[in-house]
Structure formats: C-alpha cells, structure tokens
A and B are shown apart, each in its own frame.
Chain A
Amino acid sequence: KNEVEQSPQNLTAQEGEFITINCSYSVGISALHWLQQHPGGGIVSLFMLSSGKKKHGRLIATINIQEKHSSLHITASHPRDSAVYICAAGGSNYKLTFGKGTLLTVNP
C-alpha cells in the first residue's frame, strides 16, 4: 500500500462544477504539498500546508492532521484547470512521498 493515496484517479467535470480531490497519508508529516502538472509536463507547487486551510483564487486546500487527510477543492472549474494534481507528504526526514496523482479533465 502506498503511503500516500489519492482519490479519484481520474475525474471528469463540466465547466463551472465544484471539484474535490482527496489525499490520505499514513506517515507522520510536517507538511502536505499539492502540486499541479500540466499536459506539457511542467510541475507547479500550489499549496504547502501543515494545518487548517489555505485559499488561492479558486483553489482551496484543507488538511485534517488527526485524520491524516487533505482535500483540494476547485470552485467554478474551467477547462484550463485540466491537469494532473499530485499530493505529497513531507516527513521529518527531508523527503517528499508522492501520491499517484489525479487526472482532472474539465469539459467546456
């Protein structure tokens, strides 16, 4: 079993829909990272959080340390949000452990 599990693996939505991607981890962490990878391959860091909630534009990330669970929400989704979203758990050993990613497709 992977130490970081994401669901769903694939997600298709219509433009404007509210989207939730989930991440569960089994390791102790110092921070949880959310990354976005576009079809061209480039990776962008979206959030790093160790507690509570962070918001950037239409993106919201939450984390529940006790339940070892994080969610990434996208409000009013748009076709340009189509990408792979990856969560990564940062432990105390300086390393990141990655989930397999969620492929999001937003149709116009």
Chain B
Amino acid sequence: DSGVTQTPKHLITATGQRVTLRCSPRSGDLSVYWYQQSLDQGLQFLIQYYNGEERAKGNILERFSAQQFPDLHSELNLSSLELGDSALYFCASSGGLAGGAHQETQYFGPGTRLLVL
C-alpha cells in the first residue's frame, strides 16, 4: 500500500459526459502528479501540482483540468469525453521538497480505470 488513494476505482460513462477523479496523496506529501496510461500511448504525464499551485504541465488536453485543494487532495476533471479518453488514470505523490518529479521517488495510487462508451 503506497498510501496514495484514488477514487473511484472504475468508471463507465458515455461520450460527451464529464467525470471527476479524486486523489489523496500520502500524508505529508506536497506534490501530486496525474498520469494517463492507454494501450497505445503507454504512460504519459498530464500535470503536476505542488502545495496547491500548478508546477508542470504535460500532454494534458484542454478538455481536462485539475486542481489541488488546501488539504492537498487533488481532482482531475475530464469533460466532453471521447472514446479515446478510455484509459487508466494514475495519481502519484512525492514529498515535493527536492524540487520535482525528476528528483524524487513517486508513490503511485491504484489508478482509476475509465471506460467511455
């Protein structure tokens, strides 16, 4: 158990809909990362938050947005869903003190499996 929790575990929805994925980091971790894993693209970095502020952005679509709240939990919002958005979405956290993903061990949550029909 990494200490990172994600809800829900599974989500089935229809095209055009909007969903929210939730992540609670390990106790004390300030950084939260969101990743998308699809069969054809592999793991891709979406976005990172550090202590409530956006720190780095990756291949995140404009239809997707995220935020980190004062209690450090984070939410990833996916809107106008398309079939191609079906994937595993992982959240990870790290202490945040060393400066970023490239220098810190990350602890991954169990993921949310999203299926868009």
The one of B33, B55, B88 in contact with A41, judged by C-beta atoms closer than 8 angstroms, is B88
Verify A94–B102 contact, CB threshold 8 A. yes
Given the interface pairs A95-B56, A97-B45, the reply to whether A45 lies near B108 with Cβ below 8 Å is yes
B105 within 8 A of A: yes
Given the interface pairs A93-B56, A95-B58, the reply to whether A100 lies near B101 with Cβ below 8 Å is no
B102 cross-chain contacts in A, Cβ below 8 A:
29-31, 90-96
Interface of B with A (CB < 8 Å)?
Answer: 2, 33, 42-45, 48, 55-56, 58, 88, 90, 92, 99-108, 110-111, 113
The count of A-to-B residue pairs whose CB atoms sit within 8 angstroms is 67
B88 cross-chain contacts in A, Cβ below 8 A:
41
Instruction: Tell me how far the C-beta of B97 lies from the nearest C-beta in chain A, rounded to whole angstroms.
Output: 13
Instruction: Tell me how far the C-beta of A7 lies from the nearest C-beta in chain B, rounded to whole angstroms.
Output: 15
Verify B105–A94 contact, CB threshold 8 A. no
Given the interface pairs A30-B103, A94-B100, the reply to whether A42 lies near B111 with Cβ below 8 Å is yes
Instruction: Tell me how far the C-beta of B49 lies from the nearest C-beta in chain A, rounded to whole angstroms.
Output: 11
Instruction: Tell me how far the C-beta of B15 lies from the nearest C-beta in chain A, rounded to whole angstroms.
Output: 24
B108 cross-chain contacts in A, Cβ below 8 A:
35, 42-45
